[in-house]
Structure 1
């Protein structure tokens, strides 16, 4: 009985060792890019709320990628337009792409990326110009369907995002009493050198 157990144990050890070849340590498969949902990011205050895609959180350092203030979204690249804006220390830029979030799988052409400038932001402001439309009857701000923003991050990586809601807890039908300036958005961050999402 002991001999049979010993033979089975040795066989299992040989099979396990064979399956753990040195090739497994050289696996260069690029991990799949995951979509992350950010809920209730507060941009209702006077100061900009800075967000890092790589850290997936609001940050207070210079390592931010985009920043929110009311309906304005800026990128960490370009020229500071107003005194209330954070200093841009990165090389960030944005390309606005039409399509669904899932359909944007390749980086746009380099020429389509723009930085914030003194005349205009990379993500245009105002109803119907950038990411939202404003209904003057209901006074509700709604994301424009089919607007995806591909961001060159402050350190040269890439991310894409879409705004889902401008109201706390992302109500399906916001009302005038809904708390505004509270973003919900999806993003996907590509930390590798691949050119796809």
Structure 2
């Protein structure tokens, strides 16, 4: 079968267009996700009368935007709210969280079996209580320490994924052996996090 000059011209044009589109569709370079460090984020608990268990002074939650890497007000688009050992997620903005076990630096994507949840009236996405969520409580020493290998995953107000590790609950991030529960200021969070801004599950 003979090929006409017209057919050859059409084939050449199609090849040119395909080549141009392929060259123009090269993926954008991947920007490495940076780990951010937050030190001494202060979020004091309510003042409680230890003899009666009643709250003497109720203190406000302190709000943090992972998207902005900054403390914000309650009226802003916050992701997490801290008070004492309690961490809330902004359920009204569809923020959710999951707790996984692993090495922070080795978690390079959101695990397929990570179970994300938002806060409800009866249950927190990041559970409180010693051994339940991110920390252990030592009743003998009266200290709060992060559980080793416990990583918090967060889906932010913008729908981006974050991996987060709490490093210390005490001001100055002191070694555990140097914590004095009576003199070392508590509820001063030191944590690190990495945010993937493009909406993917990769870190």
Match of 1:74?
88
Corresponding position: 1:55 with 2:58? no
- SS at 2:144's partner residue? strand
Match of 2:131?
128
Alignment of 1:152-191 (within 5 A): 152-173=155-176, 174-176=179-181, 177-191=183-197
Q: Provide TM-score, normalisation by structure 2.
A: 0.75
Match of 1:196?
202
How big is the shift at 1:194?
2.7
Match of 2:3?
none
How big is the shift at 1:112?
1.1
Q: List per-residue Cα deviations over 1:76-118 (Å, max 9, x = no partner).
A: 11xxxxxxxxxxx301101111011112111133771111112
Measured in 1, the distance between the counterparts of 2:70 and 2:41 equals 9
Highest Rg: 1 or 2? 2
Alignment of 1:1-197 (within 5 A): 28-44=28-44, 46-60=59-73, 61-77=75-91, 89-109=92-112, 112-173=115-176, 174-176=179-181, 177-197=183-203
How big is the shift at 1:193?
3.0
Q: Which stretches of structure 1, 4 residues or more, deviate above 6 A after TM superposition?
A: none
How big is the shift at 1:158?
1.1
Measured in 1, the distance between the counterparts of 2:114 and 2:137 equals 30
Q: CA RMSD in A?
A: 1.8
Structure 1 gap ranges (5+): 1-22, 78-88
Count of residue pairs the alignment pairs up:
163
Measured in 1, the distance between the counterparts of 2:196 and 2:36 equals 12
Structure 2 gap ranges (5+): 1-22, 46-58
Match of 2:9?
none
Measured in 1, the distance between the counterparts of 2:154 and 2:104 equals 13
Do 1:91 and 1:155's aligned partners in 2 also have CA atoms closer than 8 Å?
Answer: no
Measured in 2, the distance between the counterparts of 1:56 and 1:70 equals 20
How big is the shift at 1:27?
6.9
Q: Provide TM-score, normalisation by structure 1.
A: 0.78
- SS at 1:112's partner residue? coil
